[in-house]
Amino acid sequence: MIKPLRLTVLTPAETLIEAKEVKWVQAQLADGSGISIWPGHAPLLGKTITASLRYADEAGEHACNLEAGILQVGRDGVTIFTSGLAPPPGSEPAGDSARLERLAEALFAPSSSQPGLSDENELWP
């Protein structure tokens, strides 16, 4: 008889999910396809995109949004390595993410729109 899966989702700082007796796992791969993993699935290594991860165990179905990462299917189950949780689709980035986006926009804005830089005040002689 095939044993149920074990699902582990890891970040560099913590374990986000450690689930036993998992019936199935669904994830989105970087090539644009989705994958469903059931007990007895062949070994696999793949890249995921920022999307919802779904799985079912004895308590029911669960979902969480994860940043892009690496998915590994092995003898012991499914392991996903990610940088962390992603905001729900359609939501605004919160906190540090929003500040980083504003900083990136400012850094890549044309130099004439930045204070102190213009054609008359060039940085190079």
pLDDT tens readout for residues 45-95: 999 999 999 999 999 999 999 999 999 999 989 999 999 999 887 765 556
Q: Kindly report the number of other CB atoms within 10 A of residue 36's CB atom.
A: 10
As to burial, measured by CB atoms within 10 angstroms (0-12 exposed, 13-18 middle, 19+ buried), residue 116 is: exposed
pLDDT recorded at residue 123: 45
Q: What is the pTM of this model?
A: 0.71
Fold of 5-82: ATP Synthase; domain 1 (2.60.15)
